[in-house]
Structure 1
Amino acid sequence: MIIDERTYTTHPGKVKAFLEVYERLAKPIQWPILGDPVGFFVTEIGTLNQVVHLWKYDSMADREQRRAKLAVAPNWGDYLDAATPLLLRMENRILVPTAFSPMK
């Protein structure tokens, strides 16, 4: 099992607009393909204007297959076109659980 941690930093004051675009255009396409996220968060303390979402996959191969399917999904480009201008930076990390992690 792996966790894909994705952090999107919006232009100042654009978190609400990004979330509205995401919920309207991305969620109906992304969640059926990737599965429900582990969590979807906004920052309140620390680096502001960030949206952090976590996705669980069985393996890197599972992640690659699902993300490839997402990339060619109908209307996914509409979301990218609407969301990209709202973002300053996109980061992602792959997290691997330790032997004693409650989530495996």
Structure 2
Amino acid sequence: MILDERSYAIHPQYVKDYLTIYEAEGMALQVSFLGDLVGWFTTDVGTVNEVVHIWRYEDLGDRERRRAAMEASPEWQVFRKKTSHFVQSMRSRILRPTWFSPMR
């Protein structure tokens, strides 16, 4: 099992707009491709215009297949076009649980 932690710095004046559009148009579509959503978050301390979401995959191959299918989707491309101007920057990290982690 791996976790894909993705964070997006959103232009501060557009955080609410981004979240509203994502909830209404992007979330169900993304879940249909990526599957196991662990959580969606906003930062409260530090970089406060950041959104973070975490997805669980079986392995890197599972992640690659699912993300490729989503990126090939015309519906996903429409959503990305609607929201890309809100995003300042993006970061992705792959997290692997330790052998003693409660989440494995």
| TM-score interval, normalised by the smaller of the two chains | over 0.9
Partner residue of 1:11?
11
TM-score, length basis structure 1: 0.95
Summarize deviations over 1:25-46 as a string: whole Å, max 9, x none: 2112111111141010001111
Point out where structure 1 has 5 or more consecutive residues left out of the alignment. Answer: none
Partner residue of 1:97?
97
Q: Measure how far apart 1:3 and its partner are.
A: 0.2
CA distance in 2, matches of 1:82, 1:43: 23
Partner residue of 1:49?
49
Q: Secondary structure at the residue paired with 1:19?
A: helix
* RMSD, aligned α-carbons: 0.9
The 5 A counterparts of 1:70-89 are: 70-89=70-89
Choose between structure 1 and 2: higher helix proportion: 2
The share of aligned pairs that are identical, in percent, is: 45
Point out where structure 2 has 5 or more consecutive residues left out of the alignment. Answer: none
After superposing the two structures, state which structure 1 stretch, 31-40 or 84-93, moved more. 31-40
Q: Secondary structure at the residue paired with 2:100?
A: coil
TM-score, length basis structure 2: 0.95
CA distance in 1, matches of 2:21, 2:90: 16
The 5 A counterparts of 1:58-77 are: 58-77=58-77
Q: Measure how far apart 1:74 and its partner are.
A: 3.0
